[in-house]
Structure 1
Amino acid sequence: MTYESAADDDGFAEYAVAAWPRLVRTAQLLTGDFHEAEDLVQTTLAKVYGRWRRVPRGEIDLYVRRSLINNNLSRIRRKRVVHLLTPVLPESLRHTSAGHAEAVEQRTSILEALADLTARQRAVMVLRYWEDLTELEIASVLNCSIGTVKTHARRGLAALRAHPRLATTAADLRAAFARAAFDVTPGPVPLAAVRRAGRARRRRRTTAFSALSVLGVATAVAAVVVLTPVRPAPLSSGPEPVAVPPTGVPSAAAASSAPAVRTSQQPPPPPAPTPIKVVASGERVAAGKGWKVWLTKEGKHWTGPDGYENSRSVTDGNIDLGSPGVSHQSEGDAKGVFHSGVYYGTRTAGRVELRNAAGRTIVATLLELPGKPGWGVWYAHGGAKDGEMSPVLYDRSGVRLAELPLMPAGDPGSGDQNP
C-alpha cells in the first residue's frame, strides 16, 4: 500500500483513507481494545502528517508501521495497566451472522493469548502473522537486529501455542489473527482531526526551530560586539601625529607581554571528553530511576522498572564495527525518558551527546568492557517534554564521528534507532 504521490495534503489524504482500516485492525491486535486502537492510529497519522513532506516516498509504509509500534509502546509505558478484554464489541460494530458467538470466542482467545506476551513479543507476532512480514522486514520496522526478532518470535510463538484454545500451526495462527482483525469494522478516518493535530505539531516544531535560529543569531552578534576591539580617540587637542613606519621587528619580550585577543573566527575549544567507566562482563550498573545496564561480549543489555530484560547485539552482523556509528533506544513515561544505545567503530570515543530540536543537550554516561573492544554503551535520562532526541558521537579531540537524525520515538515513549 505504498503511494508515490506528491508530498502534499491531497497525497496524505489518499494514503490515510486507504491505510486506515488495516492500521486500525493492526492496532486492535496490538492493544486489545477497539477504541484505543482507533485513538492510536489517529495519533500516529497526526504525527506522520506533521512530517509528511519529509517522509521518503518509497518508505511510507515502513515509516507509518514504525511510528504505530513506537506509539503503542509509549502508550503501554505511560499507562502501566493490564487491559481488561471484553468478549463483546461495541453495539454498532457487532456482527449479527450465525457464527457470531464462535467469532467472538476466537477473537477473545487470540487477544487473551496476546495479552500474556510482552509488548515487543506481541508486536513481532502481529507483524508476522497478521501483517505477514518477513523477519528482515520486522527488524526494519522495529529498528532492531534480526536476532532480536527471532528471540521475540520464538518466545511469543511458544506462549501462543501453549494457549488451550489456539491452534499450533503457522497457517492456523494466521487464520486466527485474520478472524480477530476482521471481526472489527473501523469507522471512517477522522481526517479533519488528524490534519488539525498534525498542523499543530508542525507549528510547534517550526516555532522551536525559529526560536533556536533567533537565539543563534543573537549569540553570534553578541560575540562579535564583545570580541571586536575599539581604539579610543586621542585626548590631545594638538596637531594630529604623523605615522612613522616601524624601523624594526618588535622584541620577543614585547610580543609575549601583549595580551592575546580572541577573535570571533576562532572556534571554541572542544568540551572535555567524558570519562569512560570500564565494567566487567555481566556487571550490572545502576543507571538511576530503576534502570540497570550491563555489557557482555554479545552486546548491550538493560532492564527498566518493569523488570523486562532487553538486549542489543553487536555480534549478529547488523552493526559494522569497522566504521564509527551510534544507536539509540528510548523508553519512558510522563515522568521522564531513559535514553541508551551502543557506540562503535572507534577506540577513542570521547563523549555522546543527546540533542533535540530546541537545542537542549544532554551528555551521556559511557560504559565499556576492559581492553578497548571498539564499542561501548551510553545512557542518559531526559525529560518527558524534550521530544525527539538525536545522539551524536565524538572522539576525544572533539571531532564528530557519527550522528543519528531526529526520528519519532513516541511522545515520550519507546523507539529504536540505528544508522
Structure 2
Amino acid sequence: MTPRLRDCVEGHPLHPQPYRRTVEVPHPHHDFAAYAHASWPRLVATAHLLSGDPREATELVRNTLVRVRARWRRIPRDDVDFHVRRSLVKGHLRRARRRKAPPHEAWGALSARQRVVLVMLHWEGLGEVEIAQLLGCSAGAVRSRARRGLAACGGDPEQLRGLFAEAAEGALGVVPFAVPLETVERRGRSLRRRRIGVAAAFCALLLVPSAVFAFGRIGSGTADGSGARVAGVASSPIRIVAPGERVETVPGVRVWLTAEGMHWSTPQRSNQFRGLSEDTADDGAERGKPSVSALLEPVNSAYFMSGMYHGLSTDPSRVEVSVGGATVTGTVLTLAGGPGWGVWYTRAPLSSAELKASVAAGGPTVTVYDAAGKAVARSGAGG
C-alpha cells in the first residue's frame, strides 16, 4: 500500500480498527469545505469500488457533494457521514439501473445492491443495521445479500478486502487528488435555490385551494356523529421522508422509516424497531382498516410519545393526542409514496406526573382525522 492510500484510509477496516473517523469541522459557515477536503480521497476510493471505473467514481463523488452542499444547513453535524454515504449509494444505484458497471474478475457478477453491501461491510466497516438504514431495507436483507455476494466472490472476506484495497489504490493513482470545491460550491448553491423555488411554487399551488376550502368552512361549525371537527383547527405538520432518513424529533431521539416499519433511537436505547405487521396485530385492527397505536418511550426523566397509523387511503390531515385535560397536535412522518401508513410523534415530553394523571383519566388518547375533518382512527396508549 502506498503512503498516499495509507494516509487516506488510516483506521480503515484493512487495519485492526474499522474506519470510523469523524472529521472535526471549524466555524459552521465554512465546515462544508473542511469536510469535503478531508473526505474526498476516501469517497473517491469507495465510489470506485461501487462503480468499477475511477473517472465515473470522481463524477459520482462530485455529484454527491453537490447534493449534500444543497442540503448542508439541514444536515445534523454529528450525522454527516450517514447522509453523505446514503447520497453516494443512491447516486450509484441510479446509475446502475441505467448501465452496468465494468466487469471485474472477482466481483463483476454481483448485483448493484450486493456490491453496495460488500463495500460498506468490508471496506467502510459499517454494521448490518447501518447498511440497512442506507438502503432502506431490513438487516435480514442486508445479511442475505452479504452472504450471497461473498459466496460469489470466493467466500474469503480477507481476500475480498485485499482486492478492494488494490482497486482503491489504483483509483487514487488516476483521479485528481484535490476536491473541485469551487465547482461543487457553485452547483450546490444553484441546486439549493432551485429546490427552494420549486418548493415555494408547490406551496403556492396548495395554498390556493386550501384557502378556498377554508373560506367555505369558516363559521359553519358542522359536525357529525362520526367525529367531524370544527374548521379552523391547526393541521398536523406532515414531513415526507426517504427510507432510512433520520429525523431528530426531540433532543436525543431520532426516528426513521423503512418499508417494514418504524425505527427509533433514544439516549437509553438505540436501534429499536416496530414492524408494521406487528403494530397492526397488537392494536387488534383488521389489516387495511384505519387504526393508530401509541407508544410511550422513557427519555431521561420524561416520556416521548409516538406511534404508527395505518390503513388510510391518504395521509391524515391532523393527529391529536389527548393527555389529561390537554390536547396536543402531533407531527406526522410518512414515506414518499407510502401506502397509507406513517408515524406520528409529539415534540412536548410527558412528565411522570402527567402520565399518571392521564392514565387515571383513561388516556393518553390518539385521534387521526382525514382531510374532511372526520375522525378515522382512535386509540389509547399501548406498548
Tell me the TM-score range normalised by the shorter chain: 0.5 to 0.7
Which residue number in structure 2 is paired with residue 113 of structure 1?
106
Contact 2:138–2:260 under 8 Å retained in 1: yes
Q: Select the residue among 65, 87, 100 that pairs with 2:85.
A: 65
Q: Select the residue among 321, 342, 351 that pairs with 2:312.
A: 351
Q: C-alpha deviations, 1:125-173, integer Å up to 9, x for none?
A: 1112211222233223323222111100110011000xxxxxx532232
Which residue number in structure 2 is paired with residue 2 of structure 1?
22
Does residue 181 in structure 1 map to residue 150 in structure 2?
Answer: no
Does residue 48 in structure 1 map to residue 3 in structure 2?
Answer: no
Cα distance in 2, alignment partners of residues 267 and 139 from structure 1: 41
AA paired with 1:198? G
AA paired with 1:138? I
Which residue number in structure 1 is paired with residue 157 of structure 2?
170
Does residue 82 in structure 1 map to residue 100 in structure 2?
Answer: yes
* Structure 1 residue 218: Cα displacement: 4.1
AA paired with 2:231? Q
Q: Select the residue among 126, 129, 150 that pairs with 2:122.
A: 129
* Structure 1 residue 390: Cα displacement: 6.0
Q: Select the residue among 179, 184, 193 that pairs with 1:194.
A: 184
Q: C-alpha deviations, 1:303-362, integer Å up to 9, x for none?
A: xxxxxxxx9699xx84345557xxxxxxxxxxxxxxxxxx9976983335489xxxxxxx
Does residue 266 in structure 1 map to residue 231 in structure 2?
Answer: yes
Structure 1 residue matching 2:124: 3-state secondary structure: coil
Which residue number in structure 2 is paired with residue 151 of structure 1?
144
Which residue number in structure 2 is paired with residue 214 of structure 1?
204
Task: Report percent identity of matched pairs.
Answer: 36
Cα distance in 2, alignment partners of residues 49 and 160 from structure 1: 36
1:172/1:211 CA distance change after superposition, 3 Å = same
Structure 2 residue matching 1:40: 3-state secondary structure: helix
* Structure 1 residue 228: Cα displacement: 7.5
The unaligned stretches of length 5 or more in structure 2 are 1-20, 224-228, 236-258, 263-271, 281-289, 294-307, 317-334, 343-366, 378-383
Does residue 31 in structure 1 map to residue 51 in structure 2?
Answer: yes
AA paired with 1:169? D
Which residue number in structure 2 is paired with residue 365 of structure 1?
none
Cα distance in 1, alignment partners of residues 41 and 142 from structure 2: 26
* Structure 1 residue 213: Cα displacement: 3.7
Cα distance in 2, alignment partners of residues 138 and 215 from structure 1: 38
Structure number with the bigger relative contact order (C-alpha 8 A, sep ≥ 6) is 1
Cα distance in 2, alignment partners of residues 119 and 60 from structure 1: 24
Does residue 393 in structure 1 map to residue 333 in structure 2?
Answer: no
Cα distance in 2, alignment partners of residues 16 and 51 from structure 1: 14
Contact 1:3–1:57 under 8 Å retained in 2: no
Contact 2:121–2:127 under 8 Å retained in 1: yes
1:396/1:265 CA distance change after superposition, 3 Å = closer
Which residue number in structure 2 is paired with residue 139 of structure 1?
132
1:155/1:198 CA distance change after superposition, 3 Å = same
Contact 1:4–1:57 under 8 Å retained in 2: no
Contact 1:28–1:181 under 8 Å retained in 2: yes
Contact 1:5–1:11 under 8 Å retained in 2: yes
Cα distance in 1, alignment partners of residues 167 and 209 from structure 2: 58
Cα RMSD over matched residues? 4.0
Structure 2 residue matching 1:319: 3-state secondary structure: strand
- The count of corresponding residues between Structure 1 and Structure 2 is 246
Structure 1 residue matching 2:274: 3-state secondary structure: coil
Cα distance in 2, alignment partners of residues 54 and 19 from structure 1: 19
1:218/1:344 CA distance change after superposition, 3 Å = closer
* Structure 1 residue 2: Cα displacement: 2.1
Q: TM-score, normalised by structure 1?
A: 0.50
Select the structure of larger CA radius of gyration. Answer: 1
Which residue number in structure 1 is paired with residue 248 of structure 2?
none
Contact 1:350–1:396 under 8 Å retained in 2: no
* Structure 1 residue 56: Cα displacement: 1.2
Structure 1 residue matching 2:311: 3-state secondary structure: strand
Structure 1 residue matching 2:137: 3-state secondary structure: coil
AA paired with 1:155? R
Does residue 160 in structure 1 map to residue 153 in structure 2?
Answer: yes
Cα distance in 2, alignment partners of residues 32 and 143 from structure 1: 23
Does residue 319 in structure 1 map to residue 274 in structure 2?
Answer: yes
Q: TM-score, normalised by structure 2?
A: 0.54
Cα distance in 2, alignment partners of residues 220 and 136 from structure 1: 41
Within-5 A mapping of 1:322-401:
323=279, 349-351=310-312, 353=314, 389=336, 391=338, 393=341, 398=370
Which residue number in structure 2 is paired with residue 20 of structure 1?
40
